Amino acid sequence: MTDTPAPNPAPRYALYYAPPADSALWRLAQDWLGRDCESGELRTQPVLDGWAATDIAAVTESPRHYGFHATLKAPFHLAPGCGLRDLHDKVTAFASRQIPFPAPPLKVSAIGPFIALTLSTPSPDMQALAAAAVSELDGLRAPPSPADIQRRLGKGLTPRQEALLHDWGYPYVMEEFRFHMTLTGPIGETERRERLQTQLAALFRPALGEPVPVREICLYSQGTTDQPFLLVDRFRLGAAPAEGRAETVQGQTTS
């Protein structure tokens, strides 16, 4: 799940898992959320029995803003002295050291008041990938502001989560990491949430039976906090870094 950040004019970046662009899961999720987070195009959301189009748009507003993903390294501002070329080069090198793997099939779950896709069984490989992304790329991250720290501390964190927040800038990392791909904002009414969970299980059924291919990681970018996140680059796991490649992030070249 995600929180609305405090206003900040500087871009933010995040390292996420996203399904292959040609997969049924990617297409279904983009349609459900109503926005293609690679192209930025708005998409027509599916019709569900008992839900008005405005209701579906409202319940998907937050995950539509962040784009379909599972968090590996939560949104961060670049550290002082760190530029887009540093960001791209370090993520490229990190991805080249990782080994592709299949994760277990997904299921539609309720996480508190939210509905999300979660792994049907634990995945040590996914846990290890997320932990490595947090620790090995931490030099890219500017420390969170005191206001950000206080905002998260006010959400009832455990002592261990508070320690992780201070160490890594985010409380749900390392052993607190839980893979999930958010499908809705909070739905307080239990009956309504359970009904939608059942409908989403049917909607996503074509994409839930097979293992999840983890062959790449994705860089998402957000220009300002009122702008939606965009998927700006995919990095293949285990691929040798290409030399002399110029990349563009949110319209800015890295070379």
- 68-99 residue pLDDT tens: 999 999 999 999 999 999 999 999 999 999 99
Kindly tell me if the per-residue pLDDT of 248 is higher than 60.
no
Q: How far is CA 97 from CA 45, 104, 125, in A?
A: 38, 22, 14
pLDDT at 16: 98
What residues have CB less than 8 Å from 192, skipping those under 6 apart?
none
The burial of 85, by beta-carbon neighbours within 10 Å (0-12 exposed, 13-18 middle, 19 or more buried), is given as middle
Kindly tell me if the per-residue pLDDT of 250 is higher than 60.
no
Q: Dihedral through CA 35, CA 173, CA 210, CA 49, nearest 10?
A: -40
Task: In whole angstroms, give the CA distance from residue 18 to residue 40.
Answer: 15
- Cβ contact 62:224 at 8 Å: no
pLDDT at 1: 47
Q: Where residue 249 falls among pLDDT bands split at 50, 70, 90?
A: low
Chain-centre distance of CA 160, in angstroms? 22
User: What mean pLDDT do residues 196-224 have?
Assistant: 96
Query: How many Cβ atoms sit within 10 Å of the Cβ of residue 45?
Result: 18
Q: How far is CA 151 from CA 3, 31, 74, 246, in A?
A: 10, 32, 15, 37
pLDDT at 210: 92
The pLDDT > 90 percentage for the chain reads 84
Annotation: CATH topology of 12-243 = Cyclic Phosphodiesterase; Chain: A, (3.90.1140)
Specify the DSSP class assigned to residue 141.
Answer: B
39 or 239, higher pLDDT? 39
- Cβ contact 77:142 at 8 Å: yes
In this structure, of 3-17, 52-66, 198-212, 215-229, the range with the lowest mean pLDDT score is: 3-17
Q: How far is CA 54 from CA 47, 60, 65, 185, in A?
A: 11, 10, 16, 14
Residues 36-73 pLDDT 10s: 999 999 999 999 999 999 999 999 999 999 999 999 99
Task: In whole angstroms, give the CA distance from residue 180 to residue 218.
Answer: 15
Print the SS3 string covering 12-31: EEEEEECCCCCCHHHHHHHH
In this structure, of 10-14, 150-154, 191-195, the range with the lowest mean pLDDT score is: 150-154
- Cβ contact 133:125 at 8 Å: no
Task: In whole angstroms, give the CA distance from residue 112 to residue 119.
Answer: 16
Kindly tell me if the per-residue pLDDT of 246 is higher than 50.
no
Kindly tell me if the per-residue pLDDT of 6 is higher than 50.
no
Task: In whole angstroms, give the CA distance from residue 206 to residue 222.
Answer: 31
pLDDT at 121: 97
For tokens 């996420």, what's the residue? 16
Kindly tell me if the per-residue pLDDT of 3 is higher than 60.
no
Kindly tell me if the per-residue pLDDT of 7 is higher than 50.
no
Kindly tell me if the per-residue pLDDT of 255 is higher than 50.
no
pLDDT at 217: 98
DSSP SS3 for 10? coil
Q: Where residue 225 falls among pLDDT bands split at 50, 70, 90?
A: confident
